Every structure is written in C-alpha cells, then in structure tokens.
C-alpha cells in the first residue's frame, strides 16, 4: 500500500534526519504517527513537543499494535531489530525509508539530488531559488534548511525535491524526472567494490527516469563519463552545469565546492524554464540562508575566535572546506576539530584523511563516531600515524574534558575554529561558544 493512504504509521528510527522528514510529511497529511529510536535527540524531542508524536526511546516490540497500517524503517535499522520482527509476525506491511521516497516520487514531478558531496547544499540552493520565484515544491532533505528551520517543506506545486543516496543502491527505489549528479568520488567502500561499481549504480539510477528524463551534471568530471555516455546514447537530455561556473555567477558563501553546488542548482532552474538571472542574483545575496552544518557560522569563542560547524566527513569534502576558509580568511589560522565518521570509512581513506587534515594549522582529533558500526576503541585514533602534522596536533582522548582544555589555550580573533564531521562533534562547538 502507499504509505500516504494509511491511517497510522510506525517509524523505526524516527530520530534520523531523513526519516523524521518522512514522518513530518505523513503527519502533515493527517496520519497518526508513532515512532521509536535508540536514543533521545533534539529531533525526537521536537517531534514530541511540536507535533505531539508518541516516541519510544529504545526499541520495544510491545509498542507495536495491530492498529498500525504500515511501518517505515531507517537505513540504520537491521532486520533483527525486535520491532521489525514483531511487525513481520503481525503481517503488517513494512517498507524502508528509500521505498517510501520511491512511492512519493511516482506521484509527483520529482527532482533528485545525488552525488558523493554537495547533495544537501545543492538542494537548499534549489529550494530557496524556487520559493523565491514563487514555485513552492514539497521537499525532503537530509539537513535542516536554515530559512525554514526544517528538513521537510510542504508545497503546492507539482514538484517534489529529495536527495538520493547511492549507499547500498538505495536510490534505485526513486523514480525521477530530473536527476542531478553533483559529483562521484570513492566512498562507501564497505559496500562498493571500486569506482566502476559506483558508476554502475549511477547508470542503473538514471534508468529510473520518467518520460524522456533530464540529467544535470558537470560534463568535465571524468568520473561521470560512463554515466553521460549512457544518457546520451539513450536520448536522455544532459544539462551541463559547468557553464554556470563562469565568474559572472557568484555565491554568498565561501568555497569552490559551493560554486559547483550553485552551478548545479542553476542548471535545474534552466531545465525547468525558470528565471536564471533572478535565481543567480538571489544566491549571491545575503538573503540566501542555506542549510545548517554546512560552513554554518555558530558564533565566537570566549577569546574571540570565529566558530563554524560543517558536516564534511570524507577527505575531499574536508579539503574543500579547509581551502574555502583559507581563501576567505587568508590572514587567520584554521583550527579543525575533527570527529571521524565510521571505522570503515576511516580505514578505507586513512592516507587521504591524513594528507587532508594536515592542511589545518591546528588539529584536534576526536574518537571515531560509530554510527551503525560496533565500538572498536583500538581504532578510535587510527588516523594518528597518517597525519604528517607534528606540531599543533592534539589527540582528544577524553572529549568530556575538551572544553576545559580548549579554553585554556585562549585562541583569539586571529583564529577560525571549525567543528567537522557527520556525528556529534557540533556539540563540542556549542560547548566552547561564548554565551
């Protein structure tokens, strides 16, 4: 059944940034929502407080009742989960988050944003431009749109905009009218074998087109060559966003990677026949807000250092981040507080992480954020021997004492401090922020 036709839905892993957006969409459509998550978070608290959603902290099969019409589970949930098993035993339909997105994509004109880096930022740029042009899409995004303080927007137009993640080929559930591919780099090597395997997944993805299909990408990126060749052989219109990298198009936030994201968003605007000049002007203005945790200005530290936060969690993203801040603030030293995300990713790219993190003027290395993996304390600081920086490099073995240690060092206005990672590192940024 289509989950939007249900009267009651249970979400396993409702605290996830993407799954919570689906829950908000269902709630907006008048559906009764229940949910569970392994731990309490800002997201679960807000769902309870503002939407009055009943959430169980911890996975408890006893909360599953026969009045549940369908269940939706997070990508982080394993099928041995007790709630998942209880739902199966009761013959209640259950679908993944990706399958739920797929159901929506069949019903609306769907624009997907895929690629290794830049998905969420590109989505935010496209969404803000379309709303500025008074075209209001329905949006599910893997981050919090600053202007709207939400990861879900309900729109009155035909358009549905969502990110499409390649991990475990989950994006093959989605059917698209326009597919953006920001870039492709090696990532998720706990699942993919190599670049060719990743490229094959993207080729399968663009086969999910509706109608003639449109692809938005930079035709100069060599990693995209087989995808572009497939599209052109099958008469899929390829919009090359590289023409919007001309210096006449500027973005209000720093970094060459954000110019790439801007170019992709403008190419979508072009493909929709909307106003390019107005969109470009908007993105170059302070009115553009973007998304939280993407070069997000947090405030200042006690002694005057400027504090930022960013979600970057692979070597390429971190390098773009550091270079962006260095170019924007050539007179300041860059302090990186880095929390690696996943043991597998850290192991796969240890040399690349070491090289990239060594670009920072000062580096604090935190333990690995485990996410969906089991704790392996012996690997928490496996990057240490790959980082060439010997001076101003600190291992944070006791994160709970970090605030005290950091404040003793009295970094002033000549420094920029950036919390970096896809886990909870942002909380340490808030701990050193001046009230």
Tens digits of per-residue pLDDT, 281-305?
A: 999 998 887 777 777 888 999 889 9
Across the range 402-427, mean pLDDT stands at 90
Alpha-carbon gap, residue 162 to 192, rounded angstroms: 23
Structure tokens at 338: 């880095």
Please work out, in degrees rounded to the nearest 5, the angle formed at the alpha carbon of residue 97 by the alpha carbons of 93 and 101.
Answer: 100
pLDDT of amino acid 435: 64
Share of the chain above pLDDT 90, in %: 68
Q: Please report, for the chain, the start and end positions of each structural domain, with discontinuous segments joined by +.
A: 3-96, 108-283, 296-432
pLDDT tier at 247 (50, 70, 90 boundaries)? Answer: confident
Residue 101's SS3 state is helix
pLDDT of amino acid 191: 84
With 0-12 CB in 10 A as exposed, 13-18 as middle and 19+ as buried, what is 212?
exposed
Assign a CATH topology to domain 296-432: 3.90.190
Is pLDDT larger for residue 31 or for residue 297? 31
Assign a CATH topology to domain 108-283: 3.40.1190
Task: Check: CB of residue 51 under 8 Å from CB of residue 14.
Answer: no
Whether 389 has a pLDDT exceeding 90, the answer reads no
Nearest Cα neighbor of 120 from 265, 220, 221 is 265
Whether 1 has a pLDDT exceeding 90, the answer reads no
Across the range 392-408, mean pLDDT stands at 89
Alpha-carbon gap, residue 149 to 197, rounded angstroms: 36
Across the range 90-118, mean pLDDT stands at 95
Q: What is the largest CA-CA distance in the chain?
A: 63
Pick the CATH number of 3-96 from 3.40.50.10490, 3.30.230.10, 3.40.50.720, 1.10.20.60: 3.40.50.720
Alpha-carbon gap, residue 257 to 321, rounded angstroms: 8
Instruction: Assign residue 58 a region (left: φ > 0; alpha: ψ between -120 and 50; beta: otherwise).
Output: left
Alpha-carbon gap, residue 144 to 103, rounded angstroms: 23
pLDDT of amino acid 290: 79
Whether 234 has a pLDDT exceeding 80, the answer reads yes
Structure tokens at 365: 């290395």
């Amino acid at each position: 059944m289509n989950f939007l036709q249900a009267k009651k839905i249970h979400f396993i892993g409702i605290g996830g940034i993407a799954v919570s957006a689906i829950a908000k969409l269902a709630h907006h459509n008048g559906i009764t929502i229940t949910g569970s998550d392994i731990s309490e978070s800002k997201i679960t608290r807000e769902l309870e407080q503002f939407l009055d959603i009943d959430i169980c902290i911890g996975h408890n099969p006893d909360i599953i009742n026969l009045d549940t019409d369908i269940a939706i589970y997070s990508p982080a949930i394993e099928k041995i989960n007790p709630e998942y098993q209880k739902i199966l035993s009761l013959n209640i339909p259950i679908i993944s988050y990706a399958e739920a997105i797929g159901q929506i994509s069949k019903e609306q004109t769907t624009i997907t944003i895929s690629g290794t880096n830049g998905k969420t930022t590109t989505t935010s740029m496209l969404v803000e431009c379309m709303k500025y042009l008074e075209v209001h899409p329905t949006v599910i995004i893997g981050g919090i749109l600053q202007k709207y303080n939400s990861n879900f927007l309900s729109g009155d137009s035909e358009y549905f905009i969502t990110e499409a993640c390649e991990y475990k080929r989950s994006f093959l559930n989605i059917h698209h009218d326009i597919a953006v591919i920001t870039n492709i780099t090696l990532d998720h090597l706990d699942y993919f074998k190599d670049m060719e395997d990743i490229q094959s997944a993207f080729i399968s993805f663009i086969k999910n087109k509706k109608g003639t299909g449109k692809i938005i990408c930079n035709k100069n990126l060599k990693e995209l060559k087989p995808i572009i060749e497939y599209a052109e052989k099958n008469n899929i219109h390829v919009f090359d966003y590289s023409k919007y990298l001309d210096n006449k198009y500027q973005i209000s936030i720093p970094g060459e990677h954000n110019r790439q994201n801007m170019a992709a968003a403008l190419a979508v605007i072009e493909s929709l026949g909307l106003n390019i000049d107005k969109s470009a002007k908007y993105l170059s203005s302070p009115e553009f807000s973007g998304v939280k945790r993407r070069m997000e200005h947090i405030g200042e530290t006690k002694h005057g250092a400027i504090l930022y936060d960013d979600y970057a969690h692979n070597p390429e993203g971190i390098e773009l981040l550091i270079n962006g801040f260095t170019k924007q603030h050539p007179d300041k030293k860059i302090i990186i507080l880095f929390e690696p995300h996943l043991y597998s990713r850290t192991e796969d790219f240890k040399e690349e992480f070491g090289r990239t993190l060594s670009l920072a003027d000062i580096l604090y290395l935190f333990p690995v954020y485990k996410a969906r993996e089991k704790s392996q304390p012996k690997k928490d600081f496996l990057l240490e021997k790959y980082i060439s920086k010997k001076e101003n490099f600190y291992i944070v073995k006791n994160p709970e004492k970090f605030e005290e240690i950091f404040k003793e060092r009295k970094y002033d206005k000549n420094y920029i401090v950036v919390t970096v990672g896809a886990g909870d590192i942002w909380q340490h940024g808030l701990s050193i922020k001046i009230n």
